[in-house]
Amino acid sequence: MIPFLIFPNEITFLLICYFFALLFFTLIFVPLNKLKPSNLTKNLKERVFSWWIIFICYLIFLGINKEISFIGFCLCSFIAHRELISNLSFPIESRRIVLWSYLAIPVQYYIAYTGKLIPFLVFLPLGMLFLISLRNILEDKPEFSLKVFTELYWSLMLTTFTISHIPYILNLPTSPAEQNAPQALIFFLIFITASNDIFQYTFGKLFGRKKVFPQTSPNKTLAGIIGGVVGSLALAYLFKDIMPLSLKQTLLLGAIISLSGFLGDMNISSLKRNLNVKDMSNFIPGHGGVLDRLDSLCFSSIAFFYTIYSWIYA
C-alpha cells in the first residue's frame, strides 16, 4: 500500500492510523506551545516530536528489507553502548578493551542475522565473558579489571543483547499461513512499549498522587503504572487481529510489555540518578540520547521474546 515499503496490509492500515493521529497531535500541540508556552505544553510537544522519530525509524528499519532491519538496530545498540561507556568514564589505559566491546556489537548482529539460535544466545553472555577477560589479560593492567569486567559486560548485555532480540524475531520460523507474523510481533512490541510511556505519563499527570519510587524517578505514580497497563491492554485488544495468538495471550502480552517496559525505564533512571546526568547524551539535540529512548524497550523486548517463544515454538 505504501510505495517502497514491505509492510503487510493490516500493519499498513495501523501505520496510517498512527500517522494521522501523530499529525493531529502535532497540529494541536505545536501551535499550543507557541500561543501559551508552559512546561506542560513544551513537554507534550517534545513527546510528539520523539514519536515522529520513533515512527520514521520504524518505517526505515522494518519497511525496506531484512538487512536494513539488522543494520538499523545494530546502529541503535552501538550508539546506546557508546553513550553508556562515555558516561562511565573509562581510564585511557583500557581503551583497547573498550574497542573489543564495540566490535562485539556487529558480530552479535551478524549472528542474529544468520538466525542460529544457540550462537546468538551464547556469543555475548559467554563469548564476551571470555573475550573481555582475555583482552584484559593481554593489556596487563590488573588495576582496572573489576571496572572493565562489570561495566563493559553489563553495558553490552543491556544495550546489545536485549535489543538484538527484536530483529531476531524476523528469523523465527513461520508456517506459510503466518508469513506476516514476525512483522506483526515487532509492530506489537514497539508500538505498545512506546504507547505505554505515553499512557503512564498522561495518567500520572491526570490522577497521579502516590509516588512509587520518589528517589529514582519523581514522575512515576501508582496511577501512572495502572493507567499504563490499562492503556496497553486496550491497545493489545485493538491489535488482536494482526497477532498470531489467542485473545487471552495477546492481552497478557500487553500487560507483560507494560510492566517490563516500566522496569526498563526505572532501570535507566536509577543509573542516571547515580551518574548525576539528566540525559545519557545529546544525540538528538534537545531530546536526549538513544538510550533514553530505548530504555523501556531494553527490558520489554526480552520479556516479550521469551514469552512468545515459549508459547509458539517450545
Give the interface with another protein as residue ranges (CB under 8 A).
75, 78-79, 82-83, 85-87, 92, 95-96, 98-99, 102, 281-283, 285
Q: Which residues pair with 211 in a beta bridge?
A: 221
**AA letter at 234:** A
DSSP 234-286: HHHHHTTTTSSS-HHHHHHHHHHHHHHHHHHHHHHHHHHHHHT-SSS--SSTT
- Nearest CB to another protein, comparing residues 97 and 242: 97
Q: How far is the CB of 286 from another protein (least distance, A)?
A: 11
Query: Measuring CA to CA, which residue among 102, 108, 100, 160 is closest to residue 132?
Result: 100
- Nearest CB to another protein, comparing residues 75 and 121: 75
Q: How far is the CB of 148 from another protein (least distance, A)?
A: 14
Q: What angle do CA 286, 291, 297 make, to 5 degrees?
A: 120
- Nearest CB to another protein, comparing residues 68 and 121: 68
Q: How far is the CB of 39 from another protein (least distance, A)?
A: 22
The C-alpha cell that represents 284 in the structure block: 538528538
Q: How far is the CB of 260 from another protein (least distance, A)?
A: 28
- Nearest CB to another protein, comparing residues 98 and 111: 98
Q: How far is the CB of 26 from another protein (least distance, A)?
A: 24
Is 50 buried (19+), middle (13-18) or exposed (0-12) by CB count in 10 A?
A: middle
Q: Give the span between the Cα atoms of 265 and 210, in whole angstroms.
A: 18
- Nearest CB to another protein, comparing residues 89 and 175: 89
